[in-house]
Amino acid sequence: MKEIEDFLTGRIWLKEFTPFPKNEIDEAIAQGLIACIPGISEKQECSRCLEKSAHLISFYCEKCEGDCLYCRHCLKMGRISSCTELITWAAPSPRPLKTRSFQWSGRLTPSQNLASQQVIESIQNNRSHLIYAVCGAGKTEVLFAPIYEALKKGDRICIAAPRTDVVLELSPRIRAVFPEAVVHTLYGGSRDEPGFAEIVIATTHQLYRFQNAFDLMVVDEADAFPYSMDPALKRAVMKAKKPEAPVVYVSATPSARLLKETPGRSEIFRRYHGQPLPVPRFDSLWNYNKQLKKKTIPKKLETWVRLRISRQEPFLLFFPTIDLIDQNIPLFKELDVGIEAVHSKDPNRKEKVMALRQGKIPGLLTSTILERGITIPKVQVAVIGAEEEIFDAAALIQISGRTGRAADFPTGDIVFFHNGITREMDRAKKTIIAYNRKTIS
């Protein structure tokens, strides 16, 4: 029963799909230890993802022998319908406090330290907080002390991020710093881990499966797709935490709304190594589309790529569409056969990024999927078609933030190749310059 309690505490799970034998679940229900929740609530809302009736589909159901509603929004986690039940542990028993150590030998910069203290203070006051910190500021380290404080109190903590890549990068770092804490890492296709997780590191999608679970909620990359665009994911974050629990948002490019609505705030406009952010430069690449269609790489771009290859500097070429990447990868392979391409649907993405980091391949053509979460020492970056709509100021700032992250190589070329300068390009550049100025003052 202990195993079931550990698993179901704070979770809301399809009754038919638990990892436990059916008779044990039924017995716990009979004893009142597990509560059952109808899949579709009386308010005609999906109990797991809180999707409203307008997006629920009605059909004649052979199980209900009548009209039944099912939710398409969270379908891939197992279908929720009027005739399915969700279960949760009804009355979790109190958990004894355990000593938890904190193993980190690094040192915070003064601005990281200040932010860290401010976050702790906000949490003490149950107030939500935004860590507004430039790319490469060392945001994760800022979270260590607040998480440690929460752990000592016996709080349950969730660190959520919109993308699996970010979750996978966070997980080993958190586990290393809190070696005795039970940490679970959840994303689409992850395996169940044993025990009661004091720290859950999860994609925002996985939070559909939690309810009233966390005393502290951290949302990393709070401006990233799909979280930023999907109200259901925002609801999932709010549903997964306890009602009074504060949320700590972390972002390098927060939306105006997030800035306005979050009461607590810390700003870090200085990178952890103290060097300014590389400022993007603009370079025209008139009618690059026409030239690419004729199977020639525009001269300026070719020169830029050749220079990187001859200097053995790893590079990223950001393209606006997957189609453009697919069409042009053969052209770039003529410059160097080692050049590869990645996009969101590429199963080998991780391996290719690793190969670039290890110097096994010279460069990558990529969609905006690599705008966040990756650090490659010495990397040089070019955006092709920076005027395209997909490259808004936030995306361009994130992309620029890939350069100069390592303390040994704090600079790097970041060029926006364009077919006309947009307001978003201007905004990105001006914002980065402003960050660097605040650093000086």
Partner 1 sequence: MQASWRSLFMNDLNEAVCTKCKAEFESITGNACLYCGALEDGVCRDCLYWEQTEYAGLITKGQCLYRYNAAMQTYFHQYKFLQDVILSEVFAKEVQHALAKVEAVIVPIPMNPKKLKERTFAQVDAMLESARLPYKHLLTKNEDVQGKKTKTERMASTPLFQWNGEAVPKKVILVDDLYTTGTTMRHAAKVLKAAGAEEIELFCLIRG
Q: Which is nearer to partner 1, 72 or 427 (CB)?
A: 72
Shortest separation between residue 41's beta carbon and Zn ion, angstroms: 11
Could you say which residues in the range 132-161 bind partner 1, by CB under 8 A? none
Q: Which is nearer to Zn ion, 82 or 422 (CB)?
A: 82
Structure tokens at 172: 């080993």
Q: Which is nearer to partner 1, 61 or 421 (CB)?
A: 61
CB atoms within 10 A of CB 383: 28
Residue 132 parent element (H or E) = strand 129-133
Cβ–Cβ < 8 Å for 158, 214: yes
Q: Which is nearer to Zn ion, 73 or 205 (CB)?
A: 73
- List the single partner that 210 binds among Zn ion, partner 1, none, CB under 5 to 8 Å by kind: none
Cβ–Cβ < 8 Å for 365, 340: yes
CB atoms within 10 A of CB 229: 10
Could you say which residues in the range 62-91 bind partner 1, by CB under 8 A? 62-64, 68, 70, 72, 75-76, 78-79, 81, 83
Q: Which is nearer to Zn ion, 68 or 186 (CB)?
A: 68
Determine if 61 is a binding residue for Zn ion (CB under 5 A): yes
CB atoms within 10 A of CB 430: 12
- List the single partner that 57 binds among Zn ion, partner 1, none, CB under 5 to 8 Å by kind: partner 1
- The binding track of 29-48 with respect to Zn ion, each residue x by CB under 5 A or -, is -----------------x-x
Cβ–Cβ < 8 Å for 78, 17: yes
Q: Which residues pair with 233 in a beta bridge?
A: none
Q: Which is nearer to partner 1, 148 or 225 (CB)?
A: 225
Among 22, 52, 63, 306, binds Zn ion (CB under 5 A): 63
Shortest separation between residue 230's beta carbon and partner 1, angstroms: 12
Which amino acid does the sequence have at 258?
L
Shortest separation between residue 85's beta carbon and Zn ion, angstroms: 11
- List the single partner that 55 binds among Zn ion, partner 1, none, CB under 5 to 8 Å by kind: partner 1
Q: How many CA atoms lie within 13 A of 97 on its CB side?
A: 9
Q: Which is nearer to Zn ion, 34 or 46 (CB)?
A: 46
First to last CA, the chain: 59
Cβ–Cβ < 8 Å for 117, 252: no
Three-state SS for 55?
A: helix
d(CA 59, CA 10): 31
Shortest separation between residue 81's beta carbon and partner 1, angstroms: 7
Could you say which residues in the range 159-178 bind partner 1, by CB under 8 A? none
> Helix H segments across 336-381?
349-357
Shortest separation between residue 199's beta carbon and partner 1, angstroms: 31
- The binding track of 38-67 with respect to partner 1, each residue x by CB under 8 A or -, is ----------------xx-xxxxxxxx---
Q: Count of residues binding partner 1 (CB under 8 A)?
A: 19
Cβ–Cβ < 8 Å for 413, 283: no
Cβ–Cβ < 8 Å for 246, 126: yes
Residue 320: DSSP 8-state: S
Which chain residues interact with partner 1 by CB under 8 A?
A: 54-55, 57-64, 68, 70, 72, 75-76, 78-79, 81, 83
Which chain residues interact with Zn ion by CB under 5 A?
A: 46, 48-49, 51, 61, 63-64, 68, 71, 73-74, 81, 83
